[in-house]
Structure 1
């Protein structure tokens, strides 16, 4: 199984989540494509069995710019693809993940897990939650 873990991080919080998720996917024996959104190869990502996308909440609870650009570039090709989303936030209530979920549903993506959200810096329990989320997402 090939799993793409694509993310952006402005403070390191979403990166910490992405690292924990990638570690769990590797531990499960899957091949991992691990990249920031600004350098990810769209064809490699779209050829993956599972796509896990991460973005911090920015501004008025929107995706980080490079994630928005990357996601917009693959959005039309997600019909039937297994996708999970994750991210970190400082304020708000997770609206950016709900909006992203709506976009995924409208694109025909298959949601493989509830969106994963961590407030600020992932603590040890949050890292374990990221690993458990990743393990369930690739089953």
Structure 2
């Protein structure tokens, strides 16, 4: 079973988190399919039982607007009942973008693997990466 991990990363911080989620998925005995959002298809992703989405905070604490926001908009009506892990990094603020994103996905019917998502300030430290690995293991358990 393969678990998709779709992300957008400008500086590489969210990509590091995506790789850590994938490590956790693999450690749990599943395969991880890590891809940048530009190469992902919302309808195909929504056909999966469980997947991870990663995006950093941009602008005034919002999702990246040119690729990730349109992808999430396309995905939103299709996520009911899906197990989703949200993660991302931020450079300012207090994580409001993640709380908003989590509420948005829950309102669409998704079941979040981590209620508040996983966030890291700037470059993820070992604690944040370990949270990503642990969440990846939990996500893998949802598909086995």
TM (normalized to structure 1)? 0.92
Q: Does 1:136 align with 2:138?
A: yes
Is there any run of 5+ residues in structure 2 with no aligned partner, and where? none
Is there any run of 5+ residues in structure 1 with no aligned partner, and where? none
Question: Does the CA contact (< 8 Å) of 1:2 and 1:49 recur in 2?
Answer: no
Question: Does the CA contact (< 8 Å) of 2:5 and 2:22 recur in 1?
Answer: yes
Residue of structure 2 in register with 1:19 after alignment: 19
With over 3 angstroms needed to count, the CA separation of the structure-2 counterparts of 1:129 and 1:112, relative to structure 1, is closer
Residue of structure 2 in register with 1:62 after alignment: 62
Give me the whole-angstrom Cα distance separating, in 1, the residues matched to 2:103 and 2:124.
25
Residue of structure 1 in register with 2:108 after alignment: 107
Please identify runs of 4+ aligned residues in structure 1 that moved more than 3 A: none
Question: Does the CA contact (< 8 Å) of 1:61 and 1:95 recur in 2?
Answer: yes
Aligned positions, number: 139
**Higher RCO, 1 vs 2 (CA within 8 Å, ≥6 residues apart):** 2
Three-state SS of the structure 2 residue aligned to 1:58 is coil
Residue of structure 2 in register with 1:74 after alignment: 75
Three-state SS of the structure 1 residue aligned to 2:86 is strand
Shifted more, 48-57 versus 122-131: the winner is: 122-131
Three-state SS of the structure 1 residue aligned to 2:62 is coil
Residue of structure 2 in register with 1:121 after alignment: 123
RMSD over equivalenced CA pairs, Å: 1.4
